[in-house]
Amino acid sequence: MTTHEQALTIICPVCNAMPGRACTQPTDTSRKPVPWVHLPREFAWQQANPQDFFLTFGIEYREKPHPYWPECDPSGWVRVTAPTFESALDKVKARFGLEWSQLYPEPNFDRAKFPAGELMALP
């Protein structure tokens, strides 16, 4: 489901379009449906449906301690739950600074490559 399709499943906070109905904009005499959705509708859906993202660390932390997390193990991951990639990134930077390798959206993450599994959850 695309972000657009997901947003259509809730009431629009801008134009009050009901779930399943297109957003509308005013005309001189009424309102007409539009092919796009109001961004606050997308944002509202994302806030109500946080996603999991997966953070990994560089192999240098096998040899040296991570500056902000001594238990860091590059064979595992940290699960970060957030409404958007950008908000997940903010949480990662607040906890680990720039001392990490990749932040993956769930569809792009291959758990099998990280045998130590989940090391921590960052809600």
Residue with smaller CB distance to Zn ion, 8 or 72: 8
Give one DSSP letter per residue of 43-107, joined into a string. Answer: HHHHHHS-EEEEEE--GGGGTS--SS-TT--TTEEEEEEESSHHHHHHHHHHHHTT---EEEEGG
Q: Is 23 in the site for Zn ion (CB under 5 A)?
A: yes
Cβ–Cβ < 8 Å for 75, 69? no
CB of 94 to Zn ion, least distance (A): 32
CB of 14 to Zn ion, least distance (A): 4
DSSP letter (8 states) at residue 111: G
Q: What does the per-residue mask of binding to Zn ion show for 29-68, with x meaning CB under 5 A?
A: ---------x------------------------------
Residue with smaller CB distance to Zn ion, 41 or 79: 41
d(CA 56, CA 34): 41
Q: Is 14 in the site for Zn ion (CB under 5 A)?
A: yes
CB of 82 to Zn ion, least distance (A): 24
Token digits for 35?
């092919």
Residues that bind Zn ion (CB under 5 A): 12, 14-15, 17, 23, 38
